[in-house]
Amino acid sequence: MLFLAFIALLLPSVSQAGTQTLGVWSHAFAEYGDVKYPDEFDHYDFVNPDAPKGGTLRLSNPDRRTSFDKYNPFTLPASSPAGVDLFMFETLADASPDELGTMYGLLAKQMLVARDYSSVTFRIDPRAHFNNGDPVTAADVKYSFDMAVSEKAAPGYAQSFDGVKEAIVIDARTVRFDLKAPSRDQIFRLGTQLSIFSPKWGQGPDGKPKPFDQILRDEPIATGPYRIFKASARTLDLVRDPNYWAQNIGVRKGYYNFDHLIYHYYIDNAARFEAFKAGDFDILRELRPRRWVRLYVGKKFEDGRIIKARLRDGRGFYYEGFLINSRRPQFHDRRVREALNYSFDWAWSSKQAYDLDGRYDGLFQNTIFAASGPPGPSEQKLLEPFRKDLPAAVFGPLPENPRADTPLELRANLLHARTLLAEAGWTIGAGDLLRDAHGSPFEIEFLDSDMEFAPIVGRWIENLRKLGITVRQRLVDFAIYEKRIEAFDFDITLINFGNIMLPSASGLATTFGSAAANTEGSSNFMGIANPAIDHAIDAMAKAPTFEGVVDAARALDRVFVTEYFAVPYIYRPFNMVAYWNKFAMPSTMPKYYSIEDGNDGMPWPIATWWLK
């Protein structure tokens, strides 16, 4: 298989922070290195500043959500539509799709980062206003932050700002955030992930605000380029705001060229694909190679009405795998988790994907942050205090993923898995079932909301049953799935953590840190509570150089891989996309982008394409 490691795209130009952005007011901030675009720059290189406006872009649900019942994306439970978060809310700064860990002023025209990274101050652009006409003030920013970290917000959202001590209003347009400890990463997350909204959002007829988690169907009062035109449980029609305040500033010129963005939510992938072929919506990202090869064919693809393209992806890849909930008693022992990895038939799964995919080796695939070979001196120093509690493999060359290209090799893998299970106290007992010392059977439930993975899981189940493990495959509606995942009520499930540019220490803490392990609604699905991992994340947050970030990330990677918290699945260094041939697009692509959802970069087609 041919896979390109986009390491060159992941390296900043220099390893030290650009000092010209510290201790003084600046239009931008880079965690490491210098910024690319100067103050008052006209537009990003990857847009067409003269793109015509008009027309409608029709979209589909970009993930497993099949409906929505609220507009507030920052609270639990219930589901909000993807388009609201993407196109109605804005942040103080814009994460550059061309650079690593670099942000330029959006709602904040300028920012001042303390030289020791202990605080960041934002000065609001006097032109910025909400969609009700009110100017954006420092008090609005503080209110948005206070709601974000309150008990009414979703824990995963609130944890993004765990490193912030407080927000302080300096004057009408200036707000300072003091941090609990110096952190480049927390400053970047504050600038690019704190959505700003008006305190009037959710205000009742009596002028009193609702509790934040009771703001459901109230249209957001925010600053973004679109507003809700109409909506139902499965359709969201967003209309471009002609009074959008930022349409001519550098970080937004050439963006948002469609008058309407209409999302249709489909019940499953089959219905979604048939709707696409019928022309009900315009662009579709495909995640399954088997579908890509076998279904994206026919006259409409041959005569050019529908374009089928592989678009290069300059990002690295966070993890995708079958996550093992180590809170469950049967998964406490690392050897059990390793045995599950040996029972997975990767070679067969790869063939089902026409060998278009690669398999994850660790947390930071295709980046310089991925561990390889034995640990270097700096990694060794980080890991050494925890040696007695870590697998010996942490301190040697990382173990390779088991592979079985022949039936004999698969049999050998299953025999090794049986040995590991026996060492962990699980042996064949009554009924030819794997049982522990008390006679309790080994049981697993695979939880999912999508039939797409059923054949892959089914093949795995065959192997697990050969080991004497009782297995159930449970398919549920996505709303139920989401609630169970948030409550950590699962044994094993498949999750993709998205793409990566520069690792975020605070983001990694919410996914792999001990503090989040027992916080329902956090993204620590695997229940990881490992001091060595906590130490590596802390070292990453405090690293004074880019090299320090790399060393800490590699140390974290080593522990995660050798503790077998998940069974690795697939990554793909390109995006499989189909779209109806009626669009024009900028001649230059950004380095870091997403196709539909904007979770891991600017949603390039939605934000910058236009109708021919």
Nearest residue to 263 via CA among 278, 277, 280: 280
Percent of the residues in the chain that have a pLDDT greater than 70, as a whole number:
96
Judging by DSSP bridges, how do beta strands 306-312 and 574-580 pair with one another?
antiparallel
Q: Give the 3-state DSSP-derived string for 312-378, with helices as H, strands as E and coil as C.
A: ECCCEECCEEEEECCCCHHHCCHHHHHHHHHHCCHHHHHHHCCCCCEECCCCCECCCCCCCCCCCHH
Nearest residue to 56 via CA among 578, 585, 582, 593: 582
16 has pLDDT over 70: no
Q: State mean pLDDT over 268-282.
A: 94
**How far is residue 576's CA from residue 579's CA, in Å, rounded to a whole number?**
10
Q: How confident is the model at residue 17 (pLDDT cuts 50, 70, 90)?
A: very low
Q: State mean pLDDT over 565-583.
A: 92
Identity of residue 217? R
> Which residue carries 């540019």 as its tokens?
501
Q: Give the 3-state DSSP-derived string for 412-481, with helices as H, strands as E and coil as C.
A: HHHHHHHHHHHHCCCEECHHHCEECCCCCECEEEEEECCHHHHHHHHHHHHHHHHCCCEEEEEECCHHHH
At residue 564's C-alpha, the angle toward residues 560 and 569, to 5°, is: 95
5 has pLDDT over 50: no
**How far is residue 10's CA from residue 29's CA, in Å, rounded to a whole number?**
17
Least confident of 212-221, 283-292, 322-331, 494-503: 494-503
Q: Give the 3-state DSSP-derived string for 162-205, with helices as H, strands as E and coil as C.
A: CCEEEEEEEECCEEEEEECCCCHHHHHHHHHHCCECCCCCCECC
| Residue-averaged pLDDT of the chain | 91
Domain 44-89+224-314+575-612 carries which CATH code?
3.40.190.10
Check if the beta carbon of residue 177 is closer than 8 Å to that of residue 120.
yes
**How far is residue 225's CA from residue 109's CA, in Å, rounded to a whole number?**
17
pLDDT value of position 21: 66
Q: How confident is the model at residue 223 (pLDDT cuts 50, 70, 90)?
A: very high
- Does an H or E element contain 286, and which? strand 283-286
pLDDT value of position 288: 82
**How far is residue 241's CA from residue 174's CA, in Å, rounded to a whole number?**
26
Classify domain 1-35+91-198 at the CATH topology level.
D-Maltodextrin-Binding Protein; domain 2 (3.40.190)
pLDDT digits (tens, 9 = 90+) for 89-100: 999 999 999 898
**How far is residue 420's CA from residue 556's CA, in Å, rounded to a whole number?**
24
Q: Domain map of the chain by residue range?
A: 1-35+91-198, 44-89+224-314+575-612, 316-571
Q: Do domains 1-35+91-198 and 316-571 have the same CATH topology?
A: no
For the ranges 275-284, 450-459, 537-546, the one whose mean pLDDT is highest: 275-284
pLDDT value of position 498: 78
Q: How confident is the model at residue 478 (pLDDT cuts 50, 70, 90)?
A: confident
4 has pLDDT over 70: no
pLDDT digits (tens, 9 = 90+) for 435-448: 999 999 999 999 99
512 has pLDDT over 80: yes
Least confident of 6-10, 232-236, 479-483: 6-10
Which 8-state DSSP code applies to residue 22? B
Judging by DSSP bridges, how do beta strands 574-580 and 25-26 pair with one another?
unpaired
Check if the beta carbon of residue 382 is closer than 8 Å to that of residue 371.
no
In DSSP terms, 240 is beta-bridged to 226
Judging by DSSP bridges, how do beta strands 583-584 and 566-568 pair with one another?
unpaired
Q: State mean pLDDT over 276-290.
A: 92
Check if the beta carbon of residue 226 is closer than 8 Å to that of residue 236.
no
For the record, the structure tokens of 491 come out as: 């044994």
* 511: three-class secondary structure by DSSP: helix
pLDDT value of position 12: 36
- Does an H or E element contain 483, and which? helix 478-486
Q: State mean pLDDT over 24-45.
A: 95
More confident residue, 13 or 224: 224
**How far is residue 454's CA from residue 460's CA, in Å, rounded to a whole number?**
10
pTM score: 0.79
Domain 316-571 carries which CATH code?
3.10.105.10
Q: How confident is the model at residue 13 (pLDDT cuts 50, 70, 90)?
A: very low
Q: State mean pLDDT over 384-407.
A: 93
Computed on alpha carbons and rounded to an integer, the radius of gyration of the chain in Å comes to: 24
pLDDT value of position 179: 97
Check if the beta carbon of residue 80 is closer than 8 Å to that of residue 91.
no
